[in-house]
Amino acid sequence: MCGIVGYIGLREAAPLLLQGLKRLEYRGYDSAGIAVLNGEMRVVKQKGNVAALGEAVAACNGSVSGATLGIGHTRWATHGDPSDRNAHPHVSGEGDIALIHNGIIENHAALRTELTKHGYRFASDTDSEVLVHLIDHLWKQIPFLDFEGAVRQALTIVDGAYGICVISSREPEKMIVARKGSPLVIGIGDGEYFVASDAAPLIEYTRRVVYLSDGEMAVLLRDGFSVKTIDNITQEKAVTELDFELGEIEKGGFEHFMLKEIYEQPMVMHDVMRGRVRLEEGLIQLGGIADRLEQLREAKRIVICACGTSWHAGLIGEYLIEEFARIPVEVDYASEFRYRSPIIGPGDVMIVISQSGETADTLAALRLAKERGALVVGICNVVGSTIARETDCGIYTHAGPEIGVASTKAFTAQVIVLAMLALALSKDKSMSEAELTVALQCLNDLPDKADRILESNEAIRDIAALYKDASNFLYLGRGYNFPVALEGALKLKEISYIHAEGYPAAEMKHGPIALIDEEMPVVVIAPKDNTYRKVLSNIEEVRSRKGRVIAIATEGDEEIAQLADHVLHVPHAAPFMMPLLTVIPLQLLAYHIATQRGCDVDRPRNLAKSVTVE
């Protein structure tokens, strides 16, 4: 989704902005641009990637060099096609105000009509451009209004979501930023400030950051900054320390971020459990929810809300919490929950799951549940994200920055958090102390088992080569592995553009079986658990229709090799832990199929890493 960077200080702004935009590329974008103040406003923007923008900047014969204040943007089209004219920054008619915007201005059409009546001409099809003309208009119309006042006034008129960064040659020593629904973070340097839509571009310059909250606006000068609400009330903001290293947002020798992140999973599993799974004491310690544990145990019902891969983790969470904590659980797409008339209130608990912590629908669902009096628990990866801040309590996944657009390590971290939560809630309900100790041991053994699966990478690459030209894939699983089937199918379709569907294996004969012929690869997740025999029958059904079977099976299972075309083994584990192992070969299969088809796996078409619009 769109990315924002801004800089005010003493250094050359343009290279710094370009480097910042490179760090934001993973969010997904179709065009990019910068504006710097160099006496006058200089704008370079175009369709295409940041490297091409860099060349265009270099070709400007130095007109941007020397500038020490500027803004940069990567755009992901919502209103208006990806093109040079729709790229940000947008500028006022006289070219003296430049603005970048993330989000959607919902009343843009009415504002455009109104501004047109006042003689404004629009250079783009975007909703964002109305904002720059509106600021200009108000600044000119209202006596004694300054830059800050004009921006504030404009923000009271627009409806919708925004993260904005504005500069003007009329007041060339300042940068104004504001947010409502679209994240912004300010990096604090020495005589300089950085702004970005997430912390990735800031880490190489400073660890000290301030997160803006919704409805806040900041004015940045070289020697200080102030934060007020849009209603002009001064805010005291806490400075937070970033908790990741630069190396974590670089590829570290891997060809793609996605592959690096798949390989990081054993380490991430350790990190999520560190200090939380206390084997010697036979307990789970979750600091972020410790004060609410009893309230959670007493919940009438738990509703899990999320989107995409996080929703798949939520489905596994349902199985885990119902099995171990014996609390009824419902799992909802956040976008569906918020737009129906959901029944939720005091006594209910909502768990929201989000890697980015910024997903618009998930955020809206949590706000609705909070408003109705439910306790809201967050499972987020990005520290300080909006969802992490707005929930009543929560558990961080500690997976480190996830740059690849297809979520991998964040998913496994989410499932581990859900497993720890289910076990922490289980007290006195379903498990004896001895059973809990066995479960903790299973968790503890997990990273080594995940490591062993990665050794199959080459075998998986060879299987990928056989099926990379398939047009459709079917993924089947039962119980804990049904959500894994959904997740395997999602991974494949989003990065390879092959149509793929996930189903509970038993559902196959209620419809999808009609699709099976010799052209159809079917991935069957078939570990040795209580449904194993049933899944073998499902494989027989596929085979008898000449479908090609790729089975994910437990180590030592010889029987399945008689039925399947290919078998990928995972180590033996308790059924509730299996999704954390069976998902890994599916991530690798999707990765290799996509790369062998020549797809850009880190930046799949049409996809954004952080979906901050509805």
Question: Where do contacts with ligand F6R occur on this chain (CB under 6 A)?
Answer: 307-310, 354-356, 359, 362, 406-407, 490, 494, 610-611
CB of 376 to ligand F6R, least distance (A): 15
The answer to whether 14 and 227 have CB atoms below 8 angstroms apart is no
Classify residue 507 by its DSSP letter: G
The answer to whether 353 and 346 have CB atoms below 8 angstroms apart is no
The residue from 409, 493, 528, 609 that is catalytic is 609
Assign 527 to helix, strand or coil.
Answer: coil
Phi/psi of residue 404, each to 5°? -55, 135
| 609 is known as an active-site residue | yes
When the beta carbons of 136 and 214 are compared against ligand F6R, the nearer one is 214
CB of 491 to ligand F6R, least distance (A): 6
When the beta carbons of 299 and 490 are compared against ligand F6R, the nearer one is 490
Integer Cα distance of 520 and 513 in angstroms: 10
- In the sheet where 216-221 sits, what is the strand order? 90-91, 97-102, 162-168, 175-180, 216-221, 224-229
* The token pair that represents 231 in the structure block: 């209603």
CB of 335 to ligand F6R, least distance (A): 11
CB of 246 to ligand F6R, least distance (A): 22
* The token pair that represents 120 in the structure block: 């404004």
Q: What is the DSSP string of 261-279?
A: HHHTHHHHHHHHHTTTEET
405: Cβ contacts below 8 Å, ≥ 6 apart: 26, 28, 258, 494, 495, 602, 603, 604, 607, 608, 609
* The token pair that represents 281 in the structure block: 């004491």
Cβ atoms < 10 Å from Cβ of 119: 9
- Nearest residue relative to ligand F6R (C-beta): 308
Integer Cα distance of 486 and 96 in angstroms: 51
Pairing assessment for the beta strands 240-241 and 208-211 based on DSSP bridges? antiparallel
When the beta carbons of 550 and 590 are compared against ligand F6R, the nearer one is 590
* The token pair that represents 465 in the structure block: 């080569």
When the beta carbons of 205 and 396 are compared against ligand F6R, the nearer one is 396
Angle at 454 between CA 448 and CA 455, to 5 degrees: 100
Angle at 557 between CA 555 and CA 562, to 5 degrees: 135
Assign 6 to helix, strand or coil.
Answer: strand
16: Cβ contacts below 8 Å, ≥ 6 apart: 7
CB of 489 to ligand F6R, least distance (A): 11
Residue written as token pair 């740059």: 403
Integer Cα distance of 336 and 305 in angstroms: 9
Instruction: Name the burial class of residue 459, with classes exposed (0-12), middle (13-18) and buried (19+) by CB atoms within 10 angstroms of its CB.
Output: middle
CB of 390 to ligand F6R, least distance (A): 13
CB of 256 to ligand F6R, least distance (A): 14
The answer to whether 334 and 307 have CB atoms below 8 angstroms apart is yes
CB of 282 to ligand F6R, least distance (A): 32
Angle at 590 between CA 613 and CA 405, to 5 degrees: 25
When the beta carbons of 359 and 391 are compared against ligand F6R, the nearer one is 359
Integer Cα distance of 42 and 61 in angstroms: 12
CB of 372 to ligand F6R, least distance (A): 21
Integer Cα distance of 450 and 580 in angstroms: 8
The answer to whether 139 and 94 have CB atoms below 8 angstroms apart is no
CB of 314 to ligand F6R, least distance (A): 10
Integer Cα distance of 328 and 505 in angstroms: 24
Integer Cα distance of 610 and 573 in angstroms: 33
CB of 291 to ligand F6R, least distance (A): 25
Question: How long is the chain?
Answer: 614
The answer to whether 189 and 206 have CB atoms below 8 angstroms apart is yes
When the beta carbons of 20 and 308 are compared against ligand F6R, the nearer one is 308
The answer to whether 244 and 400 have CB atoms below 8 angstroms apart is yes
Max distance between CA atoms of the chain, in angstroms, equals 83
| 546 is known as an active-site residue | no
Q: Hey, which residues are catalytic here?
A: 2, 609
